[in-house]
Structure 1
Amino acid sequence: MELPFRSILLLRNVKDADTCWTREDFDRNIPILNMNASHSLYLTKIFNSELLAVVCENRSEGDTIKALYRNLQDIRYTPTILVTQSNTTLSDLFEDCRSHKMLNVLALKDSDNKFVYSYRAFPHLQVVKRRVGHIRRYFEPQLRNMEGYQIKVLPDNVMPRTVVYRDARGRRQMTGYLAHLIRNFVSTLNATMHICWENVPEEETPNPTTVNKMLQDETVDFPLVLTTSNEYSEFSDHLVMEISSWFLMLPVEANTQRARLFLQD
């Protein structure tokens, strides 16, 4: 099934105002949002989610694609068509898209309307060239089969969430209910799980500063760690996997009737 859309985002640089398309190229019954590279809108909050982005990248020198990433913050799964120059190096363009979590991307070269270009993101980037007349589905699902791609996981060693131990051969292992959850998730995507053991202390939880640095450097995909709402707010581009509510329990003395505090002769 093709990705649906109810509206279109047209994005181009001022230099490309006279290229790529005209208003007559689009169905007048479909709402269109016209933007240029200088505009900045958080479309997640003000527009519907069934959006098709069409981007003119002919003479933008990278400004338009940066504007695309900025305006599609938190909705980068949006199906996107890039109209590029004939001399564009598509492998570099698609690598940039992948690094910005843009997986549903097609490219058209302005001088060639017979072929559509896309890419496979996993396990490594591959540019795909397809003849228009032979295409059954334009936007192929990237996450249905990741072909063994490594998903990096960081356990927090907090029972019963993730429990780190050593087996009979002395090798570190991970169990716990979050460990089972992430293993099933990885298996569903036909990926493999890589545990970042070098950042997991033997008997302690990972250092929060280390976890934050790994998130910023994108050296971990799923940090299975506890955090507070204040700490989480620093990373607005990450999603909460689990919300736990718990209370500290302390032993107390049993209730004693007053009469039992006095002895009768």
Structure 2
Amino acid sequence: MPHFVKRIWPQSALRIMRLGYQLGTRWLAGSLPNRCLLCHQSIPIPETGICIVCLQSGLYHGPICLGCGKSMQIEVDYCGECQKRQPRKVVAPCSYHQGLGAWVGAIKYQGQLAALPVLCRALVARIKLLEQQGLITLPQAIVPVPLHPKRLQQRGFNQAWLIAHELSQLLQLPLVSEGLTRQQDTRPQAGLSGAQRRRNLHDAFMLADDFVFQRIALVDDVVTTGTTVSEIARLFEARYVHVQVWCLARAEAPGLLDDVDAV
């Protein structure tokens, strides 16, 4: 196959995916009953998914450590324990176990896409707040966690790509999905121990040699133990690319919840 065809095809596929997503979300907004998924009360058009009351009840209120997710008294980036080791920053609008995590999971497992736009806007609000406070810097590009082609065919969509696309539109940042690929069709992470997850994902991802960005946000739907994003982030950090993680919900203290189902 000519070299130029290989370079053009991913861009063409990306445009088709974007068009399909835009048409699909418009159809969804116009066809579903405009009721909150949680309380089932009516939601004013054009909003869909989760009403403002239920949304606010599930979001973080107050400072959260960007390392372990624990609540804090003052708005700083890390708690005292995380300050010692400066872990990778994870930005999320709510807790996976105590907030709206069940509906984030419904996006992936039940195709409940009506919840996606409102949760993405909540994440963007969190990102902008942290940027204004000087706790994070906006990246040069947004990179979604990839699915293996076989898994993508089975599910029909990559929820991380849908989230990244929405964030890209809201923040006016480039979405880059061509350079990072999943080369192994690994078994699902749910039910595995921490050590099993790490073995399961060993060498599962590959980063192209011509990746040019130096600061990225790695996007996934949820972060629980952090095994998936850590495996990918190491590929970037080996090339001196700064990585922060954005997700719709996170577990408190990733790495300490090895008995809870993971990303």
TM-score range, shorter chain: under 0.3
**Larger radius of gyration, structure 1 or 2?**
1
**Structure with greater strand share of residues:** 1
**TM-score normalised by the chain length of structure 2:** 0.26
**TM-score normalised by the chain length of structure 1:** 0.26
